[in-house]
Amino acid sequence: LGSRHGRTWRRYVERVLLLMGSASGTIVGRLAPSPTGVLHLGNARTFLLAWLSARSRGGTVLLRIEDIDGPRIKAGATAQTIEDLRWLGLDWDGEVFEQSSRRALYRAACQRLLDAGLAYPCVCSRKEVDEAASAPHEGAQGVGLDGPVYPGTCRGRFASLEDAKQQTGRDASLRFLVDQDQLAFVDGFRGRERGDIAGDFVVQKRDGEPAYQLAVVVDDAAQEVTEVFRADDLLPSTPRQLLVYRALGLSEPQFTHVPLVVGQDGLRLAKRHGDTSLRHFRDQGVRSEDLVSYLAVLSGLRDELSPVTARELLDGFDLRKLPRVPVRGDDHALI
């Protein structure tokens, strides 16, 4: 076979295996990095654990680059993200999915919500929402939630996006119509959870781009992901995402949220904690096995630092060993 045919054939076989796997109840996990240019200690640990969780049970791992997810995205950072993941020793099955090439799917999902009366056009600006909302909603502070509870100003006002534009001269976003305050689910690490929905939320932004809450559900469902494994800064988003699954009639994955890595002061990792990017560690001569070892110790998977690969951690991997509180990490431990 020529190499092009070989590639096409390999892809086909991978796809068939993937579909067979999901049909037979195999675990399908995913790594869903946003290409912001740097993979740091925190997301490296989350990806390592997500990979271990799926692979230790013989599962498939998919890689999806979330390259339309907000202003932190840097053009051209995808290659860097992939290189960082490879350096960590993580692998994945099949092609790399990029959200930027899947816009038609998100549009179609939004149209279905609109047609079903489960989403509606909204022309309110962020400022107007801030002013109309009463006190900021406590549950709405998490990453992925967009600020104060929307008071429903545009509910029932417009027949379509075009109608909204015609009546107001503004481009409209689409909001999901929420009819409950809270939603309960069982988290794969945390157990029973109950989270606030915090009002009608945006599923399509006014520029036509999908909101994170919608894109992530459409992709996880289309790729038949059975385990959404991520850090608990995204926990507040899960009730909203579950509503989207239900509205679109999609089967729900297991959600598993693990504590974040924080700085030694207990605060979210940031610049003041030094440079915790993988790139920095690599530049300082830290080897992948040293970094993985450090992440393993932070995660309760190893008692002391001693070079280890991701693959070597598979044997005996047990999520229950993970500390239940945020773990403290920094750039001094390795350099």
Q: Rule CB under 6 A: which residues touch ligand GLU?
A: 32-34, 66, 69, 216, 230, 234
Burial grade of 333 (CB within 10 A; 0-12, 13-18, 19 or more)? middle
Cβ nearer to ligand GLU, comparing 220 with 290: 220
Cβ nearer to ligand GLU, comparing 66 with 84: 66
Which residues touch 131 (CB under 8 Å, ≥6 apart)?
Answer: none
CB of 259 to ligand GLU, least distance (A): 15
CB of 33 to ligand GLU, least distance (A): 5
Question: Which tokens go with 189?
Answer: 């690490």
Cβ nearer to ligand GLU, comparing 142 with 147: 142
DSSP string for 186-211: EETTTEEEEEE--S-EEEE-TTSPBP
Distance CA 67, CA 80 (A): 13
CB of 79 to ligand GLU, least distance (A): 16
Distance CA 146, CA 126 (A): 9
Cβ nearer to ligand GLU, comparing 68 with 327: 68
Distance CA 322, CA 34 (A): 24
CB of 13 to ligand GLU, least distance (A): 28
The 10 Å Cβ neighbour count of residue 219 is: 21
Which residues touch 298 (CB under 8 Å, ≥6 apart)?
Answer: 45, 261, 327, 329
Distance CA 89, CA 297 (A): 17
Distance CA 23, CA 311 (A): 26
CB of 34 to ligand GLU, least distance (A): 4
Cβ nearer to ligand GLU, comparing 44 with 161: 44
* The one-letter amino acid at 170: R
CB of 67 to ligand GLU, least distance (A): 9
Q: What is the residue whose two structure tokens read 């047609």? A: 115
Cβ nearer to ligand GLU, comparing 32 with 292: 32
CB of 66 to ligand GLU, least distance (A): 4
Cβ nearer to ligand GLU, comparing 143 with 335: 143
